[in-house]
Structure 1
């Protein structure tokens, strides 16, 4: 009986130690390192409006379309979304590259984007007509942002050059671009436009 009591005591002490180290000390240390090294990312990448209030997460695309899917012409548009930009349900369409539904959607998107931006369908980049794997990706290519500049500038009464500078500011570069491709964060870009444009 004594040996079982000793084993039970050892197990209880180990459980208490493991709980203290892995359940308290380790999470607190990781939290502390995150706050010291990368507080913006550790706290959800929350972007703020000009008044300093939390406005959106830089990691999630914001809805710029109505329930019928019509995009608001006053803002930069993100990629199409298979989940309607709903952050509670992140997923792709799961349609194969040769699926007729996907091909029809891409063709319709290309026509709509070309018409909205006043450009030819040949100049519409691929990310403007295809959804991301998450359906919530806030990043678009610099090419897609560029063809939207004139429309957004006109909607807010801003100069084209001023809006292009906003795009350039939000275009990834350096190590971030080296590890992937240059991209533009639409969520942060639209906050810049809101701060620099007129109230609509």
Structure 2
């Protein structure tokens, strides 16, 4: 029996080392060399301080900032340790009530906007951490942000346009606006 157990344990130890130590170290090292920004968490620095990641949304509530997509994480919004959607089905009254409440709050905050509230401003993403909004969601908020910052609407619209990323590789997905990067650019305008 020992003659069969020893090779099995040796193979187990070897595979554990290869797949649990060597492979992760090699791929991490290669990623740090080839893609240092992404391998480091896509962190955004501002005035020498890390202020967030371009991959995880943040909660902005002031009128002078663009608001991101609602987060379904708890107990605090955009909690990376609690990533996940609300798991409420489309016929669940709690989901419908939550969306209705968000629509009413957005209409109250944007009385000049008569159009339809963009979906991504009232629904959460599957991860609850989405850092992006659609260009339509940013446009919906233009008047409020421009007024709160005493800026011309066209100047803020130009900034939104500059921070709109097109479809990945020109074909995958829709154009998006990174809320954190846009809000940092807004803050830089008024320095």
Task: Determine the structure 1 residue equivalent to 2:2.
Answer: 4
Task: Determine the structure 1 residue equivalent to 2:41.
Answer: 44
Q: Report how far residue 177 of structure 1 moved.
A: 5.8
**Cα distance between partner residues in 2 of 1:99 and 1:18:** 47
**Cα distance between partner residues in 1 of 2:105 and 2:169:** 31
Give the counterpart of 1:125 among 118, 123, 127. Answer: 118
Task: Determine the structure 1 residue equivalent to 2:25.
Answer: 28
Higher radius of gyration, 1 or 2:
1
Give the counterpart of 1:85 among 77, 98, 123. Answer: 77
What TM-score do the two structures reach when normalised by structure 1? 0.80
Q: Deviations over 1:58-80 (max 9, x none)?
A: 1111122xxxxxx3211110112
RMSD of aligned alpha carbons: 2.4
Q: Report how far residue 121 of structure 1 moved.
A: 5.2
Matched residue count: 188
Unaligned runs of 5+ in 1: 65-70
CA contact (8 A) 2:57 2:78 kept: no
Q: Deviations over 1:134-190 (max 9, x none)?
A: 222111110010121222223233333332232222212143562111111112211
Q: Report how far residue 82 of structure 1 moved.
A: 2.6
What TM-score do the two structures reach when normalised by structure 2? 0.83
Task: Determine the structure 2 residue equivalent to 1:59.
Answer: 55
Unaligned runs of 5+ in 2: none
